[in-house]
Structures are given as structure tokens and as C-alpha cells.
């Protein structure tokens, strides 16, 4: 019953040319996603640092979602591979700090992906509700 009232706080790293327009479309088309979703945009998903993800989780975000460029990135033809490496490295750091690695997700979100973005947020929220609040996890200081 307690988890039904828990609304996970999710930080989304979005790219300004690819995924941001899709996320904006969700708002413009009034496609619902949780008001506890916060979006930070940046030029390329491969520029995210694993320490940013860990920092967000330690500061109270229940999950981090990377709205990746996929193969449409104008900055790097290897963007998908580089972003995947960031996820793997982040999950390793999370395990070392006793943080459930399911608290991070990634999907390619394009400029017209308003409904898929909303669906991703809904599914991720359900996963995080099952896991529980980040406040219940014990960190190992590094």
C-alpha cells in the first residue's frame, strides 16, 4: 500500500537536438507523465559522466533515465556505444555503493517520440515503485 503512494523522482538526461523535442511534444500534446520527472538537456548523451548519475542518486533522485540520441547523433557516430559504456560504468559504481543498478535506464528517444517517452516514464516509475525510495538504500561512502 505504501508503494502505491510513492511517486519516484526521476532525473532525465535529454539531448537538445534529438530527444528534447520529443519530450517537449509530450507536454505540448498534454500526454501525461509524472510531475516528479525532471529534465536536464545537454548536447550529446555520450557526454554524460557516471559520477553525475551517482551524484543524482545520492542527492535523492530515485532513478536516472538517459534519453539517448541513438544513431541520429550529429556529434559522434559511436554515440550509442559510448552511452552504453556510461551505463555499464554507472551500474558498476552503483553496485559498489549499494545502489540497485535498476535505478538507471536508457532508451533512444527521437524528436517525435512523445508517446514512447511517456510510456518509458510510466514503466520506469513502476520499476522504481517496486524497488522503493532511494532513501531506503544504504550507501558505501567512497
pLDDT digits 0-9 by tens, 38-59: 999 998 888 899 999 999 999 9
Residue 110 forms part of a structural domain:
yes
Residue 50 forms part of a structural domain:
yes
Q: What is residue 47's predicted lDDT score, i.e. its pLDDT?
A: 84
Range of the domain at 40: 2-136
Residue 142 forms part of a structural domain:
no
Higher-pLDDT residue of 121 and 69 is 121
Residue 101 forms part of a structural domain:
yes
Per DSSP, 66 falls in state: E
What is the rounded CA–CA span in Å between residue 23 and residue 122? Answer: 14
Residue 102 CB neighbours (<10 A): 14
Residue 89 forms part of a structural domain:
yes
Residue 97 forms part of a structural domain:
yes
pTM, rounded to two decimals: 0.89
61: domain CATH number?
3.40.50
Domains held by the chain: number: 1
Amino acid at each position: 500500500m505504501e508503494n502505491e503512494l510513492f511517486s519516484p523522482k526521476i532525473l532525465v538526461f535529454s539531448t537538445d537536438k534529438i530527444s528534447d523535442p520529443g519530450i517537449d511534444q509530450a507536454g505540448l500534446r498534454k500526454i501525461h507523465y509524472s510531475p516528479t520527472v525532471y529534465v536536464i538537456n545537454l548536447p550529446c548523451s555520450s557526454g554524460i559522466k557516471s559520477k553525475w548519475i551517482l551524484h543524482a542518486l545520492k542527492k535523492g533522485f530515485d532513478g536516472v533515465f538517459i534519453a539517448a540520441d541513438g544513431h541520429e547523433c550529429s556529434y559522434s557516430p559511436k554515440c550509442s556505444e559510448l552511452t552504453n559504456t556510461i551505463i555499464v560504468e554507472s551500474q558498476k559504481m552503483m553496485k559498489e555503493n549499494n545502489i540497485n543498478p535498476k535505478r538507471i535506464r536508457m532508451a533512444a528517444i527521437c524528436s517525435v517520440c512523445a508517446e514512447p517517452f511517456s510510456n518509458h516514464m510510466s514503466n520506469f516509475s513502476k520499476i522504481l515503485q517496486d524497488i522503493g525510495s532511494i532513501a531506503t538504500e544504504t550507501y558505501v561512502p567512497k
